[in-house]
Amino acid sequence: MEKKLKSYWQIRLTNLQKALQANNFEPFLAESAAEAKKIVLEEILPKTEAKSVSWGGSMTFTESGLYAGLKNRTDINVVDTFDKNAPHEELMQRRRQALLVDLFITGTNAVTENGHLVNLDMIGNRVAALTFGPKYVVVLVGRNKIVADLEEAMFRIKDYTAPINAMRLDKKTPCVQTSYCEECKSPDRICNSWTITEKSFPRGRIKVILINESLGL
C-alpha cells in the first residue's frame, strides 16, 4: 500500500512542481526527508556558493536532519536561531542577522495546487526572510502541506496548524483548550503576520523541495 501511496503522491507532486516552476520558484522533488537533506547539502549549497546560512521555525527542517547537519559547520557562517543555550535577546538578535544571510532554510504552512506558499507567523522572522533579505531561500515541503486553494490553506493554518503549534509551544491561548481558533487577543497569540508568496522574485531565488512524506504540522 505504501508503494501505491507513493505513486499517488508522485503524480500530485510532479503537477505541483510544474505549477511552482511556472511561478518562478526553483522546485525539486525528493522521495524522503533524507533525500531533501542531500539536495540542500550537495546541490543547493555548492551551487549558490552560500557563505552564510540560517533558518526559521520549521519542524520539517529538524526532522530532515538538516539542522543537525548544519549547526556545527565551521566552513560557513552559521546563524543558529534554534540554540537552546542562547538567551532570548541573543536569539532575537540572531533572527535579525538571519535576514541578511546567503541561504535561509524554512518550511511552509501550506502550498496551494497552483503553486502559492501560504504562511502565518508569530514573530514574523520566517515570513520576512521568505519575502526579502536572504539571497536565497529553501522551503522544505512535506506532501501533507498541499491544499486545493487559498481558502483551504487559511482554514488549515488557522484551525489546525496554529492550535497544535500553540499546544506544542505551551502557549496560554484559548485554542489550546478548545482546539480551534477563537481569534484571541492573548499576549501569547501566535497568529500575527500572513504572507501569500505567489511568485519568486527574482526567478529561482526561492527553491522549494517537495518531499514525498508527511512532515511537520
- Of the residues 139, 141, 153, 166, which one makes contact with ligand SF4 according to CB under 6 A: 166
* Site membership for ligand SF4, residue 175 (CB under 6 A): yes
The cell numbers describing 161, all together, are 496548524
Three-class SS state of 140: strand
- Of the residues 110, 127, 191, 208, which one makes contact with ligand SF4 according to CB under 6 A: 191
Nearer to ligand SF4, 89 or 183 (CB): 183
Amino acid present at 82: F
Pair 196, 127: CB distance under 8 Å: no
- Of the residues 123, 184, 196, 198, which one makes contact with ligand SF4 according to CB under 6 A: 184
Q: Which of residues 130-149 bind ligand SF4 (CB under 6 A)?
A: none
* Site membership for ligand SF4, residue 183 (CB under 6 A): yes
Strands 103-107 and 146-147 come out as unpaired
Q: What does the alpha-carbon distance between residue 51 and residue 45 come to, in Å, rounded to a whole number?
A: 9
Provide the minimum distance between the beta carbon of 172 and ligand SF4 in the complex, in angstroms, as a whole number.
Answer: 10
Pair 174, 163: CB distance under 8 Å: no
Positions in the binding site for ligand SF4 (CB under 6 A) = 158, 162-163, 166, 173-175, 181-184, 186, 189-191
